[in-house]
Amino acid sequence: MSEKDLYEKIVELAVRRGFFWQSYEIYGGVAGFVDLGPLGSILKKNIENKWRQWFILKHQDFIVEIESPAIMPKAVLEASGHLEHFTDPIVECLRCGRKFRADHLIEDAIGKSVEGLTPHQLTEIIKENNIKCPSCSGQLSEVRTFSLLFRTTIGPYSENVGFIRPEAAQGMFVAFKRVYDSMRGRMPLGIGQIGKVGRNEISPRQGVIRLREFTIMEVEFFFDPEKPKCPFISEVENDEIRLITAENKLKGIKEPITVTIKGALEKGYIVNEWLAYFMALAQKFVRELGIPFNKQVFEDKLPHERAHYSSQTFDQLVKVSRWGWIEVAGHSYRGDYDLSRHMGFSGKDLTVYKQFSESQEVLVEEISLNHEVLERSYPEEYRKIVNAFSKRDKNIMLAELKAKGYIELAGKRLGPEFFKIAKVKKVVKGKRFIPHVVEPSFGAERLLYATLEYAYTVKNGRVILRLPRDIAPISLAVFPLVSKEPLVSIAKEIYENFKKEGLRVIYDESGNIGRRYARADEIGVPLAITVDYQTVKDNTVTIRNRDTWEQVRAPIKEAYVKIPEYLRYRLEFKDLGVPLKK
Amino acid sequence: MSEKDLYEKIVELAVRRGFFWQSYEIYGGVAGFVDLGPLGSILKKNIENKWRQWFILKHQDFIVEIESPAIMPKAVLEASGHLEHFTDPIVECLRCGRKFRADHLIEDAIGKSVEGLTPHQLTEIIKENNIKCPSCSGQLSEVRTFSLLFRTTIGPYSENVGFIRPEAAQGMFVAFKRVYDSMRGRMPLGIGQIGKVGRNEISPRQGVIRLREFTIMEVEFFFDPEKPKCPFISEVENDEIRLITAENKLKGIKEPITVTIKGALEKGYIVNEWLAYFMALAQKFVRELGIPFNKQVFEDKLPHERAHYSSQTFDQLVKVSRWGWIEVAGHSYRGDYDLSRHMGFSGKDLTVYKQFSESQEVLVEEISLNHEVLERSYPEEYRKIVNAFSKRDKNIMLAELKAKGYIELAGKRLGPEFFKIAKVKKVVKGKRFIPHVVEPSFGAERLLYATLEYAYTVKNGRVILRLPRDIAPISLAVFPLVSKEPLVSIAKEIYENFKKEGLRVIYDESGNIGRRYARADEIGVPLAITVDYQTVKDNTVTIRNRDTWEQVRAPIKEAYVKIPEYLRYRLEFKDLGVPLKK
């Protein structure tokens, strides 16, 4: 059978009706970039707004949204570790000069995963298996790393290197202290952001699934590591979740287990309550996009599969037809990695102070100079270094040593051997700490694609896009039964009235009514109102249900009030009017 | 008086309460980048949504929104002319190596405008006036042009140069045909977009006013140049508008005249009805942000002041305290410049077909080869070129010749001398044309700043941010009179109920009620509800007006219904309840 697969059908529909298409088509297209068309851009905004409902507005007293730039100076990504770690292995053909992502090339050739291997190991596998250029069969180069950061220059000085951010997160870490202060020192504190990021993939080949520029929706949730409990966990603790646990993966079992949030926490599958809480919300959010429970799974990533900053990460996967299980979100426990690093690299205090109700004995790390080593190594500069040390904040120096592996004093980079670090018991009235971070992070375009795929249905040979009615790009279609007066004027007035209420509406009078219904069904318009000669007499209209093709009759006045409620899932279709027989 | 100026006061408030601050502060900050904090990001979204109401949703049947990438391949910006023209003059100190924007440096030194002069002319002025480096008094270099495009590389091949888009417009031009098809060939057709753009300014020094990364909100409005009338012009023709006309500028008169839209069209001040229509909407939109009529002006740009693509441009200016008149929008008549160029450079047909109701005689441009010249110049390749010419679309070749100055045939770049272009009369049933474009284009961050400035007022020594209530980041504050039960529980329930209705609400119980009102006033919360002991008895609450500090008493049930209406300007404050004496 050479029938189109579902992916192709959706792409065909998406291009024809204006959901998405490859960018820069008239110039031959550029892989990894898509335009969202008139319908796609609304659908994406609706998905973003739904995310905002779940991840920001639900807890708007302690989760806020910010907007930080996509262009970042080098210092930020140096501190975050992206400059060093955010790479893919690349290999070049020594004959034709083509470049390939080395791990994908090897996996295609030998049919097994090489995730987490070093460039050296990959080079060895290429040699052992005598893998050649898939394009010209030429000899391949050594594998090296390729930075996935889009690099640029900020301003006229070539040394001011900048990058397009690969994640929104760093904008939140760098601004953490400002947001924290503007929120009057609230802890826990979530900082969310929806924004574009860039990842300079070597050769993306999966259309809208793997983009070089895409939209991230993420929350960095900061909390006191000594208070890791989530007070809302009871709301979700009985929710079931499908987990591929690390334990099972190590045993070779890739089937998910179904477990409650409570159970997953008790068994230690999920290491933190906030992480579990956001995973529970994430599952509900994705279900509201029309992707059912059994088409979602959370996969615990093994240490070598995780990003450099993470101590636990679950990929939230969704099943799609052509690509199998694709990641739509990552749920990471980032610990204090990012804030510590930024504190160490920037030399700015990013700790938070907490007051105890009464004085307590706590264990405090204290740093002092190892004078012996120092004097021996730098007899000339010794006094200057001692002086510089005395002027610096000790906590920041600790962070600097941890982040950079050295502390810079009087122009010298001094490694751990120059310092003594002791844990000291102290009785204090409060203390400073670096908050820990849990991060739910979604990719909007992938969710958009998955949403379309789950909405795509065929009935009597015709396509119906059964989008959830609160995210459908167009909420309502208004048709005159025939393109004649007074039906046209009445229908146009109804169209205008719904528009004024803030609804997205289409008016259509071309072609027969059946064809108009079909056009509306294909883009997922949940309801269609038809104005007919009866309307002229009694101001009632027919309202048609996209999914069932059932119809009800209702006074137009009632429809103005009830349809917005129906679209918010506060009424059912039968509540909209009196059923009509087909 | 060393009192802070209004700009400084607003920046102080913005930083402290979370509207905006310079990005990357912990790394010393990077000029030209700002973060929008928790309140700023909501305010910006509200401004964007208001823009969307005026520029997209009002005409949603023929103006649609899309989303295209910020990263663009070189081909697009080569065709658009940005690679060549989107530059600023730069000069370098030969002693200290510092770089300056040459025109600004000269203007600071000699106190008059040098807009539109060439690098050579600027160099001459520097020599004549013996202008030195403002930093070290060193000798300055020749003036050269500096590209304002942020440059990067797409993928692993260094020759695949890309840029961050300097305007959203090009994404719409490149996608025009796709959108046009998905809209079933609708003409006129508006394509709008809200998105980030990058302009690599040499040395931006005006905080949030001049950014290297900012948000553009723009519509490219495509219409048939033979049908330039706007059917909605009567809705706005009596609106007054303040214009600085080109005529007056040439006479040295910089004062605006006040004229109706109708008058401005009749007198030829504005060359196109659609341009005038969008300017009228633009003025209303900006007024709804709180910026009054007499603080707005539209300045006609003289040819040397206009961008390379424009045949008429009005800058929409708004008066702000420190910076004087700043541009918040540009309204340009771009003609067929962009589509022609992309047609010529891409070789793809971007024309639109129109059917005549009956056959008409039209004048058609026809291109043919100048065989004499061709045979003389390329005797060897002559046949191949003739053959290549015969296979190409004639309209596209015309566009190519116009855009590039040559047509590439059989590997040869042939200039105009190789072709004959004739205007031929033909009787046809329809014809192809390149739509013309009118573009209203706003900068969101500047509008946000101007909005804050016009909202900033002082009453009894306290700051009130009198933001229009439909764009205020927080719509409502809920306070228990004192932090005691049952007031706290009742207030929290009210807070939750308004949240469920989709409102942005704050709950605050810390400090005395006066201080809480003050905190809410300072961030522009339009209404505050106070729960007191009377509430316990009769379920009524006090509602306080931010601007007048008047209070009314109302049953909480009524408040749930009326407050959302008040926020949409459908009710007045007195409608909310029974007035309380102060």
The whole-number average pLDDT for the span A574-582 is: 89
**Is B560 near chain A, with CB under 8 Å?**
no
**Is A12 near chain B, with CB under 8 Å?**
no
First to last CA, chain A: 37
Q: Do A73 and B201 touch (CB under 8 A)?
A: no
Among chain B residues, the shortest Cα distance to A61 is held by B506
Q: Which two tokens stand for residue B250?
A: 């040439």
Residue A582 DSSP one-character state? -
A89 alpha-carbon distance from chain centroid: 23
**Cα separation, A87 vs B567, whole angstroms:** 49
pLDDT tens readout for residues A473-500 = 999 999 999 999 999 999 999 999 999 9
Our CA angle for B188, B189, B192, nearest 5°, is 145
| Structural contact between residues A306 and A335, judged by C-beta atoms closer than 8 angstroms | no
Residue B71 has pLDDT above 70, yes or no: yes
A contact test, residue of B19, B49, B54, B67 with most A CBs within 10 A: B67
Among chain A residues, the shortest Cα distance to B99 is held by A156
A contact test, residue of B21, B48, B71 with most A CBs within 10 A: B71
The residues that bridge with B214 in the sheet, in sequence order, are B197
Q: What is the mean pLDDT of chain B?
A: 95
The residues in B 204-223 lying below 8 A from A, measured between CB atoms, are 212-213
The whole-number average pLDDT for the span A62-89 is: 96
Sign of the Cα pseudo-torsion (A358, A359, A363, A367, in order): positive
**Is B232 near chain A, with CB under 8 Å?**
no
Ordered structural domains, chain B, with CATH: 6-83+151-337+438-443 (3.30.930.10), 87-147 (3.30.40.230), 355-430 (no CATH), 474-580 (3.40.50.800)
Listed in sequence order, the residues at least 6 apart from A490 whose beta carbon sits closer than 8 Å to its beta carbon are A480, A531, A535, A536
Helix (H, G, I), strand (E, B) or coil at A245: coil
What is the predicted pLDDT for the residue at A582? Answer: 59
CB nearest A213 (choices: B34, B66, B70): B70
What is the predicted pLDDT for the residue at A206? Answer: 85
A contact test, residue of B44, B170, B178, B210 with most A CBs within 10 A: B178
Looking at the complex, report in whole angstroms how far the Cα of residue B380 sits from the nearest Cα belonging to chain A.
31
Please report residues of A whose CB lies closer than 8 A to that of B30.
73, 154, 162
CB nearest A183 (choices: B38, B154, B346): B38
Whose CA is closest to B235, among B209, B254, B208, B262? B262
B222 alpha-carbon distance from chain centroid: 17
Q: Do B182 and A38 touch (CB under 8 A)?
A: yes
| Structural contact between residues B94 and B219, judged by C-beta atoms closer than 8 angstroms | no
Q: Do B146 and A152 touch (CB under 8 A)?
A: no
Residue B311 has pLDDT above 90, yes or no: no
**Is A15 near chain B, with CB under 8 Å?**
yes
- Tell me what percent of the residues of chain B surpass a pLDDT of 70: 99
Q: What is the mean pLDDT of chain A?
A: 95
Residue B140 DSSP one-character state? B
Of A108-122, A444-458, B214-228, which range is least confident? A108-122
Query: Would you tell me how many other CB atoms lie within 10 Å of the CB of residue B288?
Result: 18
**Cα separation, A319 vs A574, whole angstroms:** 33
Helix (H, G, I), strand (E, B) or coil at A526: coil
Among chain B residues, the shortest Cα distance to A36 is held by B67
What is the predicted pLDDT for the residue at B581? Answer: 75
When pLDDT is cut at 50, 70 and 90, the band that residue B582 belongs to is low
Amino acid at residue number B160: N
Q: Do B23 and A69 touch (CB under 8 A)?
A: yes
| Structural contact between residues B509 and A61, judged by C-beta atoms closer than 8 angstroms | no
Looking at the complex, report in whole angstroms how far the Cα of residue B77 sits from the nearest Cα belonging to chain A.
11
Q: What b/e sequence results for B321-347 when a residue is b if at least 16 CB atoms lie within 10 Å of its CB, and e otherwise?
A: eebebbebbbbbbbbbbbbbbbbbbbb
The residues in B 329-348 lying below 8 A from A, measured between CB atoms, are 342, 345-346, 348
Please report residues of A whose CB lies closer than 8 A to that of B202.
155-156
| Structural contact between residues B353 and B361, judged by C-beta atoms closer than 8 angstroms | no
Helix (H, G, I), strand (E, B) or coil at B43: helix
Strands (E), A224-255: 240-244
Listed in sequence order, the residues at least 6 apart from B137 whose beta carbon sits closer than 8 Å to its beta carbon are none
What is the predicted pLDDT for the residue at B1? Answer: 46
Residue A451 has pLDDT above 80, yes or no: yes
B contact test, residue of A16, A27, A180 with most B CBs within 10 A: A27
The residues that bridge with A244 in the sheet, in sequence order, are A299
Residue B310 has pLDDT above 90, yes or no: no
**Cα separation, A277 vs B127, whole angstroms:** 68
Q: Do A26 and B346 touch (CB under 8 A)?
A: yes
Please report residues of B whose CB lies closer than 8 A to that of A342.
26
Of A577-581, B262-266, B344-348, which range is least confident? A577-581
pLDDT tens readout for residues A507-536 = 999 999 999 999 999 999 999 999 999 999
Looking at the complex, report in whole angstroms how far the Cα of residue B267 sits from the nearest Cα belonging to chain A.
34
**Cα separation, B415 vs A399, whole angstroms:** 65
What is the predicted pLDDT for the residue at B527? Answer: 98
Torsion angle (degrees, nearest 10) of CA B141, B146, B150, B155: -90
**Cα separation, B90 vs A158, whole angstroms:** 14
**Cα separation, B370 vs B417, whole angstroms:** 7
Residue A1 has pLDDT above 70, yes or no: no
Q: What b/e sequence results for A213-230 when a residue is b if at least 16 CB atoms lie within 10 Å of its CB, and e otherwise?
A: bbbbbbbbbbbeeeebeb
**Is A49 near chain B, with CB under 8 Å?**
no
The residues that bridge with B320 in the sheet, in sequence order, are B324
What is the predicted pLDDT for the residue at A2? Answer: 57
How many helical (H) and strand (E) elements, i.e. helices and strands, does chain A have?
21, 29
Q: Do B18 and A151 touch (CB under 8 A)?
A: no
The residues in B 178-207 lying below 8 A from A, measured between CB atoms, are 178-179, 181-183, 196, 198, 200-203
Listed in sequence order, the residues at least 6 apart from B97 whose beta carbon sits closer than 8 Å to its beta carbon are none
Residue given tokens 């893919």 in the structure block: A88
Please report residues of A whose CB lies closer than 8 A to that of B346.
26-27
Whose CA is closest to A331, among A305, A301, A302, A303? A301
| Structural contact between residues A575 and A562, judged by C-beta atoms closer than 8 angstroms | yes
Q: Do A34 and B69 touch (CB under 8 A)?
A: yes
What is the predicted pLDDT for the residue at B206? Answer: 85
The secondary structure of chain B in percent helix, strand, coil, rounded to multiples of 5, reads 35, 30, 35
B410: left (phi over 0), alpha (psi -120 to 50) or beta: left
Cα B365 to Cα A228, B357, B359, B392, B418: the distances in Å are 74, 22, 18, 15, 16
pLDDT tens readout for residues B382-397 = 999 999 999 999 999 9
Residue B150 DSSP one-character state? P
pLDDT tens readout for residues B148-160 = 999 999 999 999 9
**Cα separation, B289 vs B455, whole angstroms:** 9
pLDDT tens readout for residues B48-66 = 999 999 999 999 999 999 9
ipTM score for this prediction: 0.95
Query: Would you tell me how many other CB atoms lie within 10 Å of the CB of residue B562?
Result: 17
Looking at the complex, report in whole angstroms how far the Cα of residue B428 sits from the nearest Cα belonging to chain A.
26
Residue B205 has pLDDT above 90, yes or no: no
